[in-house]
Chains A and B, each alone.
Chain A
């Protein structure tokens, strides 16, 4: 493919056809594609579908919490038909079904929706473009990674229809609970969950090897480390988190699989009694071992969910304030510190497991330390806004509201990191409120910002601004209506595990905490309705959105905007060279208010 000698082509419709020595068929183009852009889109579409599915699971749970014992409207009869009387008798959500939806909501949102959309979709599509690479370093590995992810997703989805339903021991699958949920049918939902997880972990490992190798090896000429866009840095650190934190969970997953299928006792203590009968296992295992191995992944995973989101926000903010990012280097070093520290904070999830004071103090200290670089990043982004002439388009509105939302999420985490206050708040709705502020209005807003921002590059068309702003306003308002009351419920001591919404526990004691349940549920439904403008906008804009008139509709500086739209196979029409840093906006003395990285000095 000697495209290097061809002039820059603006014939968008034929961009991919310049080297027509092979016209790929449907399967090789969309299913077995090795092009990072197609794989990115595959990840994006699958992850958005899983996102919607995970959201609907939550809506059904929320209905049960607000109106315990009443049939779920609209889908109640379907639930009964597909899942049987045991789980959804008369369309009423039974305790087992609530548990199973809860476990799957967490699993689907974390492993099948948000990580794939941040790392798989945006990472795949944007990273090689931003570093001036023709593709990922290992295109076939990239394809295998997507296939493993998809297979894992299918297995997870199929587990709903196994006898007894899907996994229902929480997304954390604590042993021994996870190993004793179904003692008769050992090939139960939990087993499906574990097999699915092994596929998802394999996918993430292949992906992370690929990302790190790509960023190290395929940066174009002139793209030195400190000229990389911040988004690429976050992908790089995220890659390391996935690479080194996931294998212990894979090991743990296989151990639990052996506990379930072969009757071993990795995580089962001796003398375990379930429902009044002694469990016929040898025992001698350690339930805490599972928790250690799980949270060794679990905590870095939190940063996997948030770092790429911060990367997207940084891109959008720099572009829409027309200013360089304030403190780019500090942000980079802060990101590295976050990544490094995130490996040694995990046991703050386990303060209540009977930990000694010394080790609890250690983890409390590291947890407090990790909040410092996080605050540095957030502060740098806030200062970046100062004195900018901010453009308020949909992408930028989402990115701007990310900052306070993530701020609330982060700050409410501090009381959970102190072991004294965690003793009270642990396992309450406060925890749910805290981490949802980080990932729902936090990460999800960044995802939406990213979609509005890069949509023109991917499709060649702009998304509708009016619908986008309706989507933003509704999402911001109702996100807060959903999650802020959870802090109050948590302070009042409401446990996150109660499937009747706390009715039995709170009866006549504190009606306010209970009444908040209805408000949260209503807000969640409204939040769902406000996603409709986005869905309509998305499909409408693919086919009939306003066409972009240049390859760089946002007047951005980073390299993905110097490719044709959409980028052809091989991405760049001539070898790109980075002559300057990533955010040269409003350079004094320059004719335009942006200077692309590829512009010669």
Chain B
């Protein structure tokens, strides 16, 4: 595959490269901050359980909000989605869209039931 070298020169830098290593050292700082935030987030979520929100909807919203922030931190920094290629974004966008469709339409389907009383009155088993 020697004839591909001209195309591939834009690939990854070799490991151990100095400027590269400094980049990574900077990352490590971020990782530690994220680690701390995730632990704090976990504690917060658990504390929320003991707070009495007046409605269940509020409880769910708060819990999922904290979980989403934690998930964002993991995905954006640990999985490097902050600076990922377009292709990855498009695949994830597709999955997210279809997942929303699956959940949304299934739930809608189970709540939108026939209300017409004709069904009840004229039904003879």
Contact = CB atoms under 8 A, between A and B. Distances in A.
Q: Do chains A and B touch in the complex (CB under 8 A)?
A: yes
Interface of A: 4, 216, 221, 240, 244-245, 248, 286, 288-289, 292-293, 296, 343-344, 347, 350, 354-359, 362, 575
Contacts of A343: 98, 101-102
Contacts of A244: 94-95, 98
Contacts of A289: 106, 110
Interface residues on B, range: 10 to 19
A292 B95 contact: no
A347 B105 contact: yes
Interface in B88-103: 94-95, 98, 101-102
B102 A4 contact: no
Contact of A292 (B7, B109, B115): B109
A359 B102 contact: no
Contact of B108 (A216, A240, A359): A359
B114 interface: yes
A354 B114 contact: yes
Contacts of A355: 109, 112-114
A288 B109 contact: yes
B102 A296 contact: yes
A288 B95 CA distance: 23
Interface of A is mostly: helix
Contact of B112 (A216, A350, A356, A575): A356
Nearest to B108: A359
Which 4 residue pairs spanning A and B have beta carbons closest together? A356-B112, A359-B112, A292-B106, A343-B98
Nearest to B87: A216
A296 B98 CA distance: 10
B110 A354 contact: no
B3 interface: yes
Contacts of B94: 240, 244
A503 B102 CA distance: 41
Nearest to B99: A244
Contacts of B105: 292, 344, 347, 359, 362
Contacts of A240: 94
Contacts, number: 51
Given A356-B115, A575-B3, A288 B110 contact: yes
A288 B3 CA distance: 57
B1 interface: yes
8 contacts: A4-B1, A244-B98, A292-B109, A355-B109, A356-B114, A357-B112, A358-B112, A359-B109
Contacts of A356: 111-115
Contacts of A359: 105, 108-109, 112
Contacts of A347: 105, 109
Contacts of B87: 216
A344 B106 CA distance: 10
Contact of A344 (B7, B101, B110): B101
Contact of A354 (B3, B102, B113): B113
A288 B112 CA distance: 13
Nearest to B110: A288
Nearest to B97: A343
Contacts of A286: 110
A292 B104 CA distance: 11
Contacts of B110: 286, 288-289
A343 B100 CA distance: 11
Given A347-B105, A347-B109, 16 more contacts: A240-B94, A244-B95, A244-B98, A286-B110, A288-B110, A289-B106, A289-B110, A350-B109, A354-B114, A355-B109, A355-B113, A356-B111, A356-B114, A359-B109, A362-B108, A575-B3
A292 B101 CA distance: 11
Contacts of B113: 354-356
Interface in B48-99: 87, 94-95, 98
